[in-house]
Amino acid sequence: MEILEIIRRNYKWEGPPISNDPFFGLLGIILSQHTTDKNAWQAEKMLEDKFSTPEDLILVGKNYIKNIIKTAGLQNEKSNTIINVARAEAERHAVSRALKMNWQDARKSLTNIQGIGEKTADVFCMLYLNAPIIPIDVHVKRVSYRLALSKSNNYEGIQRDLHLLVKPEYRKETHLAMIRFGREVCKSKKPLCASCPFNKVCPWYLSTIKA
């Protein structure tokens, strides 16, 4: 709890830009996977500038969308998911209805769309429904593992362990701070262990680097 409190207080981050339109916001979350915030935001804005409705996206098709979002990478996979989301919204108002649900039901509903996983649904619910959850992205997972904040290797287990350590009202802030800490200090490659405030208690540093 003390470690997470230090991270939350000292690595504050507002998060990347998000669309005011939840439908396009969900597309932005999809685009953010395995790329930079800048590239994801540029790709999302291009979609939002070119298309007004889910039906417009369906009409132009996957290949056209692939060319627009290529700056975000993984365009083949991401364009498939974007089309799936557009169809789900056009046919059954999946995103619009999710906004009127409690976040638990919204999460379940969104993950029924092919290509939408737990993390994507959790980020959406955190941002647009103020859900008291900590989405587990690669940075949160790495920081949790190295600092022994969780004994689990799977998404649900890590999230459950972090929720036990963080009060609901601080979970969004903690999620964002952990991402910043993971990007700036506890990096995947060449982590800044020497200047890390937790190097005297970090099991990973003591057993892997210092040893």
Last residue of a domain, one of 93, 113, 128: 128
Q: Do both 48 and 96 map to the same domain?
A: yes
> 162 and 118 in one domain?
no
Clarify whether residues 33 and 99 are in a common domain. Answer: yes
- CATH code of the domain containing 78: 1.10.340.30
Do 66 and 30 fall into the same domain?
A: yes
- pLDDT bin (cut points 50, 70, 90) of residue 194 is very high
Domain boundary among 96, 128, 160: 128
Q: Per the structure, how many domains does the chain have?
A: 2
Burial of 66 (0-12, 13-18, 19+ CB in 10 A): middle
Q: Same domain, yes or no, for 28 and 124? A: yes
Last residue of a domain, one of 94, 128, 162: 128
Q: Which domain holds residue 45?
A: 22-128
26 and 123: one domain? Answer: yes
Residue 211 pLDDT: 59
Name the phi and psi angles at 55, rounded to 5.
-60, -35
- Are residues 122 and 146 both part of a single domain? no
30 with 96, same domain: the answer is yes
Q: What is the pLDDT of residue 208?
A: 83
Asked if residue 152 and residue 81 are part of one domain, the reply reads no
What is the pLDDT of the chain when averaged over all its residues?
A: 96
pLDDT in tens, 164-179: 999 999 999 999 999 9
Looking at the fold, whether 87 and 158 belong to one and the same domain comes out as no
What CATH number is attached to the domain comprising 161? 1.10.1670.10
- In this prediction, what percent of the chain has a pLDDT beyond 90? 97
155 with 186, same domain: the answer is: yes
Q: What is the pLDDT of residues 4-62, one digit of tens each?
A: 999 999 999 999 999 999 999 999 999 999 999 999 999 999 999 999 999 999 999 99
Please check whether residues 88 and 145 belong to one and the same domain: no
For 121, the token pair is 């649904």
Query: For residue 209, is pLDDT > 80?
Result: no
- Residue-wise pLDDT for 141-168, tens only, equals 999 999 999 999 999 999 999 999 999 9
Q: 15 in the Ramachandran plot: left (φ > 0), alpha (ψ -120 to 50) or beta? A: left
105 has pLDDT over 90:
yes
